[in-house]
Structure 1
Amino acid sequence: MNGYCCIAVDVGKLDNESMEIARTIGVSALCKCKPIACLIFASCNLREPNNLLSKKNKRVAVQRVQCEATRSRRHMCLGSAGAMWALLYGLQSQEAEAKEIQVGAYLPPAPSNAGFVQFKATNKDTPALRAGNVEPYQFILPSTWKRVRVANILSGNYCQPKCAEPWVEAKFEDANQGTVQVVASPLIRLTNKPNAQIEEIGNPEKLIASLGPFVTGNSYDPDELVESNVERHDDQTYYSYTLETPYALTGTHNLAKATAKGNTVVLFVVSANDKQWPKSEKILRSIVNSFQI
């Protein structure tokens, strides 16, 4: 792909109704550069996106343009490394919750964590698990959290069983505490060695340099890495991370844990904003520490 397929819209001409229509067709990753907002599509194979928009609302002035990739993460709306994921994160944020009930209503209690429940993924949960591309994983959550629907373009449903780019397996959130995402990346994106262990891909710093944008939702700067560790559980190696990410779409505070198994690297991300973090840090650390595959 030579660039990103975009629609350029005069932000000043978009009223609330028009913006909602734009979001409905997947145009939600608005770059914050006025007066023109670059709306990046996930694929250059989209046909006549401006026609799709004009059919719904004649008032939206749209033209199709080509965005150029950039190495700068702060001087343009979205850089080349994080641009696509920013779009996908934006699409996901617009999706309604899959279950409008707390997880405590349908998940079993965590054996040794009062107030938490246990989530164990099965092949009924996601397209990748059904396709055998991801090994079952598990973690704990506070019983008050809710599961959030993952947009089809994010879920990997359209590309299984041979996805070339990372996808979101599952997402849970609590408005007062934070967000959890399980992200899966094809192993071949990181190494040419089949069934490689995470140590064979590289050290923790090398791995997060490749997967950092999928933690933050847009871009990654090595200066944002506060701490990294190597853990071993049941013959499985995990890399764990603490990141302070002031420009992240996911939140200013991110905890992550990664491991490789089979043909996939699984990245478990726990995020919070400045308001959520002081009260929920202990809970979020318990969640990320519980992740296993």
Structure 2
Amino acid sequence: MIGAARSNAPRVGQANPLFKSTKPIEHARFSYKQICRCSADQSEEVTAVSSQQRRRAIASLTAAAAAFTAWQPNNTANAIQGLTAGRIPGVSGPGPDGFYKYQRPEGKSGGHGVGWSEIPRYSFKVAAGWDETPVSIADLAGTELDLRFENKEEGNLFLVVAPVLRFRDVGVNADVRIDELGTPDIIIAGFAPEIFGAPLSDDDVLVTETAQIDGVTYYYWEVKPHHLVAATAVGNRLFMMVLNANGRQWRKAENNLRVMQKSFFVPKL
């Protein structure tokens, strides 16, 4: 009978056999947390070790940097002392006045190309901090440009070596002096377009001087705004050294530039 049928439903308070106890699950959760905690502890230990290694490495680098800094000043002084002399071919010194001396090295090639005979070893004083820079036939002086020097704080210098045939027809073995080629006004006017980029006006030349050094005539000019020029002739060539400065450079280095101008020398053949 339906009313008399046996019921399989559990009694109140009796555990349902279809469900397992939650205690193992709670235990499993507890074990998982413990494992995570252990892993975290291990990670912290690894991180601590890595931090210690980094600190030791930084300390070592700091000590090395301090040692290098302590050594550097004397080494820098030595480098500056030899900045010009020895590093640039032809430069020696400095002398008692603090200037170095440049003498054209034997066999040096300028912008002249092929076919030029050996050029006399001209010389001049150069202040500390000046550097030789490359020459190019694209310059105003073209293939007659032999040398360039520059100091961005003081100015620039270039030297032209030109055949005296520009002024006078002479033989290959001639030994001409600059006063035989023309007056100072004629010489500077003849070179103005290639050394200044334009012809000179009547009032551009501020000072003109002449001098005899070792039996050779020299011309000197001061030209607006801040150009100093020295020139002479030896053999069948005319030599002209030009120094240029802007206003700031002139205020700083006028004395150095004048010393360099007057020191220009070309030996007799």
TM-score range, shorter chain: 0.5 to 0.7
Please give the residue correspondences for 1:224-243 in structure 2 after superposition, counting only pairs within 5 Å: 224-243=204-223
Residues 105, 233 of structure 1: alpha-carbon distance in 2 compared, 3 angstrom cutoff = same
Q: How does 1:52-91 map to 2 (within 5 A)?
A: none
Please give the residue correspondences for 1:236-255 in structure 2 after superposition, counting only pairs within 5 Å. 236-244=216-224, 252-255=225-228
Task: State the shift of 1:198 in Å.
Answer: 0.8
| 1:153 Cα deviation after fit | 4.6
1:132 Cα offset (Å): 2.4
The equivalent residue for 1:150 is 135
Change (3 A) 1:155 1:121: farther
The residue that corresponds to 1:191 in the other structure is 168
SS in 2 for 1:227: strand
Q: How far apart are 1:287 and its partner, in Å?
A: 0.6
Where structure 1 has 5 or more consecutive residues not aligned to the other structure, the ranges are: 1-100, 157-164, 245-251
Q: Give 1:32-181 correspondences, 5 Å limit.
A: 102-104=83-85, 106=87, 107-114=91-98, 116-127=99-110, 131-132=116-117, 134-154=119-139, 167-181=144-158
**Partner Cα separation in structure 2 for residue 201 and residue 140 of structure 1:** 26
Bigger drift between 131-140 and 232-241 goes to 131-140
- 1:148-185 residue CA offsets vs partner (Å, 9 max, x unmatched): 101145599xxxxxxxx761110000011001111111
Q: Which has the higher helix share?
A: 2
Identify if the C-alpha distance between structure 1 residues 199 and 166 changes in structure 2 by more than 3 Å, giving closer, same or farther.
farther
- 2: distance between equivalents of 1:205 and 1:221? 11
Q: Residues of 1 paired with 2:151 and 2:254: CA distance?
A: 13
Kept in 1: contact 2:161–2:240 (CA 8 A): yes
Which whole-Å CA distance do the structure 1 matches of 2:212 and 2:132 have between them?
Answer: 28
| 3-state SS of 1:222 partner | coil
The TM-score, its normalising length taken from structure 1, stands at 0.55
1:112 deviation in Å? Answer: 3.5
1:271 and 2:238 matched: no
The question of 1:286 aligning with 2:259 is answered yes
Is contact 2:210–2:219 with CA below 8 Å preserved after alignment?
yes
Q: Which residue of 2 aligns with 1:204?
A: 184
Q: Is the 8 A contact 2:155 2:245 kept in 1?
A: yes
- What's the TM-score once normalised by structure 2's chain length? 0.60
Alpha carbons 1:102, 1:146 under 8 Å: kept:
no
State the 1:143 CA deviation: 2.1
Describe the SS at the equivalent of 1:119: strand
Equivalent-residue separation in structure 2 for 1:102 and 1:270 (angstroms): 21
Computed over aligned residues only, the root mean square deviation of the Cα atoms, in angstroms, reads: 2.5
**Secondary structure at 1:286 match in 2:** helix
- The percentage of aligned residue pairs carrying the same residue is 24
- Measure, in 1, the Cα distance between the counterparts of 2:119 and 2:194: 17
Q: Structure 1 residue runs of 4+, over 3 Å off?
A: 127-131, 152-156
Distance of aligned partners of 1:258 and 1:175 in 2 relative to their CA distance in 1, 3 Å threshold: same
- The answer to whether the 8 A contact 1:177-1:280 is kept is yes
Q: CA deviation at 1:144?
A: 0.8
Tell me if the contact between 1:122 and 1:136 (Cα under 8 Å) persists in the aligned partners: yes
> Which has more radius of gyration?
2
Distance 1:215 1:132, change over 3 A: same
Q: Distance in 2 between matches of 1:110 and 1:221?
A: 39
Distance in 2, matches of 1:276 and 1:155, equals: 22
Distance apart, 1:133 and its partner CA: 5.2
